[in-house]
Amino acid sequence: MVESAFPALPGGLPPGRLVVPEEGPEGVMALWVSDEPQAELGELWCRLYDERARTGLYPLLLDTLGGEPARPWHDGELFVDGTVADIDALDVEAVLRGGGSGGEDAAVPWPGLAPPGDGVEDADEFARVSAESGAEDAEFLLGLVPAARGADTLTVMGWSGPVNHSRTAEISAVVRSWEERFGARVVMVGFDVLGLSVAAPPRTIEHARAVAAEHEAFCPDNIWQGVGDREEYAAGLVGRPSWSFWWD
């Protein structure tokens, strides 16, 4: 193991460990995780988030699989099969068009990417508020990933939450686009769940319908094992400052 390849850890962290992914390039350690779930991690998350450009480490609130607290993080249930270069090579609209209900034979043709929202410049502040609020309500492990942006952490650490639907690099490519168009930021990652803060959500039902089409392509379980209706789902997106996703 080449532990020196991982960036130097900042001070003030709880006890933790570097994790060796179950599958990936030999010697690559792409995640540091705290040993125990921590209460009220919001303030520490915010400090680490503000220091990420200097440290090279992006912070995550990490949830575990219910009833199996070692999974997936402490067990190293991570599968690094892509790189940042793989994300760079992807066309996000092609990814979403391929994952959605659009296409020549579809009842609802793919509508194209939704236009950007207003308020993207407030993304960092929304991320801080989301992390502090989320950490008040639950205990999380703290994670640090050597990545420049939250979208890339998913691929870099080998997260496999959406493996039954998409390659993780495709998930990262879509989240990158949402970072740019809606001021989204990755805050929480679980075994098969993903939580984003959103500074510039849709403000009208028309805009929300276009965003809902992207969500359906990205994570169909959100709608069809959730409210069961895209129109109702779209209505719930209007003005919502956070998006959460779950894959079966």
Q: Read out DSSP for 76-90?
A: T--B----HHHHHT-
Closest CA to 222 of 190, 245, 191: 245
Which amino acid is located at 212 in the chain?
A
Which amino acid is located at 121 in the chain?
E
d(CA 186, CA 149): 8
- Count of structural domains within the chain: 1
Q: Who wins on pLDDT, 137 or 232?
A: 232
Domain that holds residue 56: 3-246
What pLDDT sits at residue 3? 42
What pLDDT sits at residue 108? 60
Average pLDDT over residues 198-218: 97
What pairing do the DSSP bridges indicate for beta strands 58-62 and 141-145?
A: antiparallel
CA distances from 33 to 64, 145, 203 (A): 12, 9, 37
Does 123 have pLDDT greater than 90? yes
d(CA 126, CA 8): 27
Specify the pTM.
0.93
Q: Tens of pLDDT along 20-33?
A: 999 988 878 899 99
What pLDDT sits at residue 57? 98
Does 122 have pLDDT greater than 60? yes
Does 85 have pLDDT greater than 70? yes
Percent of the chain whose pLDDT exceeds 70:
95
Average confidence score pLDDT of the chain: 93
Does 61 have pLDDT greater than 70? yes
Average pLDDT over residues 47-70: 97
Closest CA to 81 of 22, 32, 33, 27: 22
Does 5 have pLDDT greater than 80? no
Q: Who wins on pLDDT, 245 or 101?
A: 245
d(CA 26, CA 15): 25
CA distances from 90 to 64, 95, 172, 229 (A): 29, 7, 10, 29
Q: Read out DSSP for 44-103?
A: HHHHHHHTHHHH--EEEEE--BTTBTTTTTTTT--B----HHHHHT--HHHHHHHHSS-S
Does 65 have pLDDT greater than 50? yes
What pLDDT sits at residue 164? 86
Average pLDDT over residues 211-217: 96
Q: Is the Cβ–Cβ distance between 197 and 184 less than 8 Å?
A: yes
Task: Write down how long the chain is.
Answer: 248
